[in-house]
Amino acid sequence: MANVKQIYIGLLGLGTVGSGVVKSLLANEDHIIAQTGFQVRVKRALVQNLQKQRSVRIDQDFLTTDAISVLVDPEISIVVEVMGGIEPALGYIRSALQAGKHVITANKELLAKHGDELALIAKNAGVRLLYEASVAGGIPIVRMLQAYLTANRVTSIRGILNGTSNYILTRMQGAEVTFAQALAEAQQLGYAEAAPQSDVEGYDAAYKLSILANMAFPVQTEIACVDRMGITEIEPVDIAFAKQLGCVIKLIAEASYKGGQVRLSVSPKLLSQSDSLATISDVFNAVTVEADVVGELTFIGRGAGEMPTASAVIEDIVEVLRTPTIPATAPKQKGTCAGVGVFHLREVQNYYVRIHFAKKEDAIHVSAWETAAFCSEDRILEVGRTKDEYTRAYLIATDDRKRIDKFIQMTGVLSWIVMPYGGDFVVHCSEPLTELSTG
């Protein structure tokens, strides 16, 4: 190993992902040397508790509770942030970049909210800021957009970006359990956090979508531009209605760019069973990219976990070793939700709407409410009802979602849900589909 150079990294965090990074570096040391000519060694790892029992073997002398010892060490060339959260991670990354250290992070929330600022600091310091692990775990979608689709104009990105929500929906559809039951299973298996709001309310997927859109499109957007809806309001009756329509429900993140206009959304959606994303189950992620030259590309893999995420981190380490200078990129126009080039397209969309009436007699007035709420170009079709007739499902095609909101407000229903609908619009159905029992 006479010609092998050593490079030292500092870890900010030694939890699940950090431990996976250490394990992978040790297991694949010879392979990394063969690929890069460098032996990558961990010199410092920031932890909260020095005495904690760990799943990875690491010299106790490498552990520290002092972040400064990682950030100012002149031998450390690469800082890997896998601690999560905004602060203190944001301050640590700023300091590392300003000190001339390359930074690799898996922190999607931080990047979605502060990525522009950190990219500018990295550029001014002449160092790399890499974040393959922030989106879709082991799927190399970030590198694909940054390096391998530069000859293409990306027009859309669509995917399942949150494994927790996908597992829950898979269980609800396969085992016919409630959301609460499926969530409890996910938590027991370690697929969901004790506080799962970021996953089940769509925030996690929104952060990831924002990162991908800012790489793929020539307009810089903000996280606030993402229309977001989670899966907490989905009930077993929705799963049953979806099955009747030949659909499955998935939490879909979508970004499109057309004519200078950007649309960003995260929402549960009814997908036709023939849709490529309909078959993605459990904790797997999938991303479909549509581009003008190459056409459609779909990537599938584990979206989270110790080793898939560690793999993405190590790929970024290898990228720094191979290309330590910042590749040239074209400047982007800055946009906000109300600014130039970032706003919602006005076009007809299909929706699934489920409403639960307070009393059966209220359903008598539905036709009158439809007339008052919708215009003549809209299409409204009842496609299902429960045997007690309290709960009904509709397909609605309209170019203004506010009309659906007006309709729901007029009905005064107890509960409801509105989801995008990606199946066939059953225009020839004059009678409700098969009635469902309320059980």
* 359-379 pLDDT, tens digit each: 777 777 777 777 788 888 888
To the question of whether residue 12 is assigned a binding role by annotation, the answer is yes
Q: What is the largest CA-CA distance in the chain?
A: 85
- Give the list of residues 6+ apart from residue 4 with CB closer than 8 angstroms, or none: 33, 37, 38, 39
Reading the block at residue 222, the tokens are 């903000």
Q: Given a cut of 90, is residue 407 above it in pLDDT?
A: no
| pLDDT at site 51 | 87
Q: What is the pLDDT of residues 51-73, one digit of tens each?
A: 888 888 888 889 999 999 999 99
pLDDT of residue 432: 57
Nearest Cα residue to 116 out of 79, 90, 83: 90
Alpha-carbon distance of 107 to 168, in angstroms, equals 23
- The predicted-structure confidence for 233-259, as pLDDT tens digits, reads as follows 999 999 999 999 999 999 999 999 887
Per-residue pLDDT tens digits for 340-358: 344 455 678 999 999 998 8
Phi/psi at 182 (5° precision): -65, -40
| CB-side neighbour CA atoms (13 Å) of 78 | 27
Cβ distance 75 to 43 under 8 Å? yes
Provide the pLDDT confidence category of residue 388 given band limits of 50, 70 and 90.
Answer: confident
The pLDDT of residue 221: 86
H runs (alpha helix) in 163-299: 163-174, 179-188, 197-200, 203-216, 236-244
Instruction: Decide if 249 contacts 218 (C-beta within 8 A).
Output: no
* pLDDT score for 205: 98
Average pLDDT of span 114-120: 94
| Distance of alpha carbon 382 from alpha carbon 387, whole angstroms | 14
- The partner residues of 384 in beta bridges, in order of sequence, read 393
What is the rounded average pLDDT of the residues 299-327?
91
Q: Is 208 a catalytic residue?
A: yes
Tokens of 44: 């410092």
pLDDT for residue 333: 62
Is the pLDDT at 218 greater than 80? The verdict is yes
Burial class (CB in 10 A: 0-12, 13-18, 19+), 308: buried
How far apart (Å, rounded) are the C-alpha atoms in residues 217 and 226? 15
For the stretch 166-207, pLDDT in tens is: 999 999 999 889 999 999 999 999 898 889 999 999 999 999
Contact 283, 138 (CB under 8 A): no
Cis peptide bond upstream of 88, omega within 30? yes
User: Which pLDDT band, with edges at 50, 70 and 90, does 437 fall under?
Assistant: low
**Could you tell me the pTM of the whole model?**
0.91
pLDDT of 3? 84
Confidence (pLDDT) at 424: 77
Q: What is the pLDDT of residue 347?
A: 78
Q: Is 13 annotated as ligand-binding?
A: yes
Residue 336, pLDDT score? 47
Annotated binding residue at 15?
A: yes
User: How many other C-beta atoms are found inside a 10 Å radius of the C-beta of residue 14?
Assistant: 25
CB-count burial class (<10 Å; 0-12, 13-18, 19+) for 272:
middle
Q: Is 52 annotated in some ligand binding site?
A: no
pLDDT of the residue at 2: 61
- Which DSSP letter does residue 38 get? E
Which domains, and CATH codes, for the chain? 5-134 (3.40.50.720), 141-302 (3.30.360.10), 349-420 (3.30.70.120)
pLDDT, the chain, mean: 89
pLDDT digits (tens, 9 = 90+) for 126-182: 999 999 999 998 899 999 998 889 889 999 999 999 999 999 999 999 988 999 999
Tell me whether residue 17 is annotated as binding.
Answer: yes
Encoded tokens for 395: 């397909």
CA distance 76 to 261: 43
Q: What pLDDT, on the 0 to 100 scale, is given for residue 271?
A: 97
Res. 75 pLDDT band, cuts 50 70 90: very high
According to the model, what pLDDT value does residue 57 have? 83
- What is the total residue count of the chain? 439
193 marked ligand binding residue: yes
Task: Give every CB contact of residue 143 below 8 A, 6+ residues apart in sequence.
Answer: 132, 315, 319
Query: What is the number of helices (H) and of strands (E) in the chain?
Result: 14, 18
Tell me the two tokens of residue 355: 């409403």
Q: Which of 5, 23, 123, 208 is catalytic?
A: 208
Calculate what percentage of the chain has a pLDDT beyond 70.
Answer: 92
Report pLDDT for 128. Answer: 96
What's the rounded Cα separation, in Å, for the pair 331 and 251? Answer: 32
Q: What is the mean pLDDT of residues 3-29?
A: 94
Least confident of 121-125, 289-293, 377-381, 434-438: 434-438
> pLDDT higher for 273 or 425?
273
Res 261: pLDDT: 81
Taking only the tens place, the pLDDT of each residue in 314-344 is 999 999 999 988 876 655 666 544 443 444 5
Q: Which two tokens stand for residue 70?
A: 């990682």
For residue 312, report the phi and psi dihedrals to the nearest 5 degrees: -65, -40
